[in-house]
Amino acid sequence: MEVKSAIEQKSLLSVLPPGKRARLRRLLFEFGPGHGTLLFLPIDQGIEHGPRDFFPNPASKDPEYQFSLAAEAGYSAIACQIGLAEKYYPDYAGQVPLILKVNGKTDVPPSDNALSTTNASVEDAVRLGADAVGYTLYVGSPRQDEDLQQLKGVREDCDRYGMPLVIWAYPRGSGIDKKGGQYSFYAIDYAARMAMEMGADIVKLNMPKIDPEKDKDSPAPYNEMDVSQEEAVRQVVESAGRSLVVLSGGSRVDDDQLLQQTRYIMEAGGSGVIYGRNVWQRGHSEAMEIIEQIKEVLLDSVTRIP
């Protein structure tokens, strides 16, 4: 398969130290669809939203479901919190790479001052044989001071152990709400850059949603830009610079839209997708089917060699 680089983004792997390079290569080339793409299965909704996300497909309440799916379908990695990593990953060690998500929170209190504190460490990730760690950064939150300080510790440990760092770059908090909201082009563009500047090797982004009504509240020039969603995606990927970008899924959407946005992110120079509910809220065979379709799009549309 031949891939071409749309934007003149230089290689990420070439500037990474050996530990990060070895682990990232595993995700990009040895597991999953390969050819420099990333297909992640997230199973952290149980703490972020509670078990309510599992009711559409009761089988999904048992983490075995996601772990076996990830292994069987050939994912680049599965992303979960420490409890699942310690109690479910051992049976799948070596079969599918692990991204240990090191912070998280319930969605019970309001998120005006969002901060997600760490519940696990990079050392835990090393001990468990993980190939990356995940960190949620609430970009623009009134508590960004604590967030950035905390991320510093995680990033430093990643540098110390050669562990790739995946940042869930989520605009959040009262300030963001006043400037167009967490899905605005402004907010996601800022989040992409922020994550890259804070040391992310991979940035996880939501799809920007163009909403002229809300965008009027964004700072210039965003408040008067007239861009298509495709263009917005291209921009946010560019803002992440040398960091790789994976697109977040969110709540369930219809299949066409899912595959289309997968294509968008790949054509924009992104490296892959991280879809949870859109995959495991389906029964096994139906899930395997959509995974196959996603993989195809990934490989068809890949434009960047990392």
Site for a copy of itself in 228-287 (CB under 8 A): 235, 238-239, 241-243
Provide the minimum distance between the beta carbon of 28 and a copy of itself in the complex, in angstroms, as a whole number.
16
Compute CA 189 distance to the chain's CA centroid, rounded to the nearest angstrom.
15
Q: Is 204 designated active site?
A: yes
Question: Contact letters (x/-) for a copy of itself, 185-224, by CB under 8 A?
Answer: -x--xx-xxxxxxxxx------------------xxxx--
Token pair of 55 as six digits: 């009711």
Provide the minimum distance between the beta carbon of 90 and a copy of itself in the complex, in angstroms, as a whole number.
5
Contact 27, 86 (CB under 8 A): no
Helix (H) or strand (E) holding 165: strand 165-171
Provide the minimum distance between the beta carbon of 196 and a copy of itself in the complex, in angstroms, as a whole number.
5
Q: Of 88, 89, 138, 170, which is the active-site residue?
A: 170
Compute CA 158 distance to the chain's CA centroid, rounded to the nearest angstrom.
17
Provide the minimum distance between the beta carbon of 295 and a copy of itself in the complex, in angstroms, as a whole number.
28
Q: In a 10 Å sphere around its CB, with 0-12 CB exposed, 13-18 middle and 19+ buried, how is residue 98 labelled? A: buried
Helix (H) or strand (E) holding 240: none
Binders in 2-41 for a copy of itself, by CB under 8 A = 8, 10, 12, 15
Question: Contact letters (x/-) for a copy of itself, 45-84, by CB under 8 A?
Answer: -xx--xxx--x-----xxxx---------------xxxxx
Which alpha helices (H) appear in the chain, and where do they start and end? 18-25, 45-48, 63-73, 82-87, 122-127, 144-161, 174-178, 185-197, 212-215, 229-239, 255-267, 277-280, 284-301
Binding residue for a copy of itself (CB under 8 A) from 25, 26, 105, 284?
105
Q: Is 89 designated active site?
A: no
Residue 111 in contact with a copy of itself, rule: CB under 8 A: no
Binding residue for a copy of itself (CB under 8 A) from 36, 42, 179, 294?
179
Q: How many residues bind a copy of itself (CB under 8 A)?
A: 82
Binding residue for a copy of itself (CB under 8 A) from 2, 94, 110, 228?
110
Which residues on adjacent β-strands are paired with residue 78? 41, 98
CA–CA separation, 247 vs 230, rounded Å?
A: 13
Provide the minimum distance between the beta carbon of 296 and a copy of itself in the complex, in angstroms, as a whole number.
31
Single out the segment in contact with a copy of itself by CB under 8 A; choices: 31-39, 68-76, 111-119, 206-214.
Answer: 111-119
Residue 162 in contact with a copy of itself, rule: CB under 8 A: no
Residue 124 in contact with a copy of itself, rule: CB under 8 A: yes
Q: How many CA atoms lie within 13 A of 262 on its CB side?
A: 29
- The position carrying tokens 């799948």 is 92
Phi, psi of 53 (to 5 degrees): -70, -15
Nearer to a copy of itself, 168 or 190 (CB): 190
CA–CA separation, 294 vs 257, rounded Å?
A: 11
Single out the segment in contact with a copy of itself by CB under 8 A; choices: 116-124, 270-278, 279-287, 289-297.
Answer: 116-124
Token pair of 122 as six digits: 């990079």
Catalytic residue list: 170, 204
